[in-house]
């Protein structure tokens, strides 16, 4: 049986030396480049540097 992944939610997470901030409800069709651009824009408004910009995808696995 084949397994298919169906994306349910996409989140953008900015990781700092001490902690992180997660932005939920991102569009499912957003590209990695667009998320990185948004993460960098948000980071430019912060007082602390971002160590990582992470895309978090929650998916449902379906057997076909």
Distance of CA 49 to the CA centre of its chain: 18
Q: CA dist 49 to 20, 37, 41, 62, Å?
A: 11, 15, 12, 39
Residue 1 banded pLDDT, cuts 50, 70, 90: confident
Please tell me whether the overall predicted TM-score, pTM, comes out greater than 0.85 for this model: no
Of 48 and 33, more confident: 33
Per-residue pLDDT of 5-39, as tens digits, reads: 999 999 999 999 999 999 999 999 999 999 999 99
Report the pLDDT averaged over residues 47-52: 92
- DSSP E strand stretches across 1-64: 3-16, 19-26, 52-63
Q: Looking up tokens 């992944």, which residue turns up?
A: 5
Report the pLDDT averaged over residues 27-55: 94
HSE at residue 3, side-chain half, CA atoms within 13 A, is 4
């Amino acid at each position: 049986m084949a397994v298919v992944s169906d994306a349910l939610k996409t989140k953008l997470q900015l990781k700092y030396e001490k902690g992180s901030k997660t932005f939920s409800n991102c569009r499912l069709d957003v590209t990695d480049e667009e998320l990185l651009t948004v993460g960098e824009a948000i980071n430019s408004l912060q007082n602390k540097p971002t160590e990582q910009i992470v895309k978090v995808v929650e998916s449902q696995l379906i057997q076909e």
